[in-house]
Every structure is written in C-alpha cells, then in structure tokens.
Amino acid sequence: MNDDLNAETPVVSGSRQRGPGMRVLVMTAVSAERDAVLRGLRGASNFDVLVAGVGTAAAAVSTAKVLATAEYDLVVTAGIGGGFIGKAEVGSLVVADEIVAADLGAQTPEGFRNLDELGFGSTRVRVDAGLVIRVAEALRGAGLAVTTGPVLTVSTVTGTAATAAELAARVPGAAAEAMEGFGVATAAHDRGVPILEIRAISNPVGPRDRAAWRINEALDALEAASSVLLEVLI
C-alpha cells in the first residue's frame, strides 16, 4: 500500500493515455447518481460507471476491487453533495482541488487533531491542478456554475450550523462535503491512478432539512457535468 497520499500521483499524461483511448472509471454512491452520469455520457465506451455504495469504506473497497481487475487512466468520484454556504450554491458544481477526510482524527482538550497531526498517516489526497483547471474551465464554458476547492469526506452528514462552522475552520476554503471521495481517492492513489472528484450540490451544509434537498436539480447538474467530462477527457 502506498501510504503517502500526498506523494505525486501520475498526471493524465506520460505513460497514461489521454485522448481517444483514455479509460475512465466513474464511481458513484447510489444508482440514481450512476444513471445521471450515464445519461450525460451518452454511451461513451471508454467510461465505466459503477455504484460503490454510501460511505468511505464501501467506496474504497468497491474501487479497489475494480482497479485490481482492470486498467484505468483516471478515476472520478462523482455524485451529489452538500455545499458550504457562500462557497457553493444548490444546483452548482464543485470540482475538488483536494479531497480531505475531514473527521478522521481525534478530539483532544485542545481541539480536533487529524491523522497527520497525530502521526498516523494522511487525511488529504491532492488532485492534479492542471486537470482541475481544465475540467472547471470546460464546465464554465458550458454555462455551468462551478467552484473549485477542498471537498470534505465525512462519516456523518453535517446537521448543525456549529458543525458546519467547525469544518469550515478546520479546512480553510472547504467548498463541499460528501461521504465517499476519500475512500475512492485512497484506492486510486494506491494503484497510482489520478483522481478527480465532482459534486453536484443538492443541499447546503448546515442545519438538517432533508425535505429541502434538491436532489433532482443536483442530478440534472451531474448529468450536464458528465456530458462536459465526455468532451474534455477524450
């Protein structure tokens, strides 16, 4: 296992394919997200889109299983997510420039300490900056609202303003939260495959109001993003 998650992963160039032969694995948490991605991809044969399950453990195991049996040039973790207020509005898209396991650590009398600070590993996976810029610009060019910034992976959906504020302070610039990114990214990093995370915002991060989640709006944005991905990655 490659235990340095911040070590350079290959960018989408060099020995990895870029162009018509590029193979892309897209992992979603649930089938509604997979179906939205598939609609956007319009049958593109160089993309495989699979359901990983909800949460980081399911995401990591599912991704690792696929990567053990097939070669890919890029792994994308995609789905709906919560947007931090003032950073990412409902219906917009977030492209992660960093994937952060935001609640992996320990509470101490001095406050939260992450795994890096505790000396047990890393809670961050970097995303190739050139790829982030290329994808974000293409999405904007298609008229979609896009933010780039850290996307947090959490085990518990944030349900209070206090937790939202704590996470935003813990990870400056945090744009979105979801539950799978770090698991998919860890599996991809272990195989040396570049990673991308795209979240379509269904709800604000903050006080729980499940009835107000705009899932269909987010799935439409995810479909639109996937159709742009098709253009930018081939």
Ligand X SMILES: O=C(O)c1cccc(C(=O)CC[C@H]2O[C@@H](n3cnc4c(=O)[nH]cnc43)[C@H](O)[C@@H]2O)c1
- Cβ of residue 89: shortest distance to ligand X, in angstroms? 13
Please report, for residues 10, 18, 70, 72, 76, the alpha-carbon distance to residue 15 in angstroms, rounded to integers and kept in the order given. 9, 9, 16, 12, 19
Q: State the residues that interact with ligand X by CB under 6 A.
A: 29-30, 32-33, 54, 79-82, 154, 157-158, 177-180, 202-203, 205, 215
Residue 20: DSSP 8-state? T
Render the burial of 124-143: b for 16+ CB within 10 Å, e for the rest.
bbbbbeebbeebbebbeeee
For residues 45 and 156, which CB has a smaller minimum distance to ligand X in the complex? 156
- In the bound state with ligand X, the residue whose beta carbon lies nearer, of 60 and 179, is 179
- Select from 33, 31, 27, 87 the least CA-distant residue to 220: 33
Q: Which residue in 103, 100, 142 sits closest to 123, CA to CA?
A: 100
Q: Nearer Cβ to ligand X, position 128 or 177? A: 177
Closer to ligand X at the Cβ: 12 or 49?
A: 49
As a whole number of angstroms, the distance between CA 120 and CA 110 comes to 18
For residue 137, the minimal CB distance to ligand X (Å) is: 25
Q: Tell me the closest approach of the beta carbon of residue 25 to ligand X, in angstroms.
A: 17
Residue nearest to ligand X (CB): 82
- The identity of residue 222, as a single letter, is L
Nearer to ligand X, 81 or 150 (CB): 81
Shortest Cβ 124–ligand X spacing (Å): 18
Report the nearest approach of ligand X to the CB of residue 151 (Å): 10
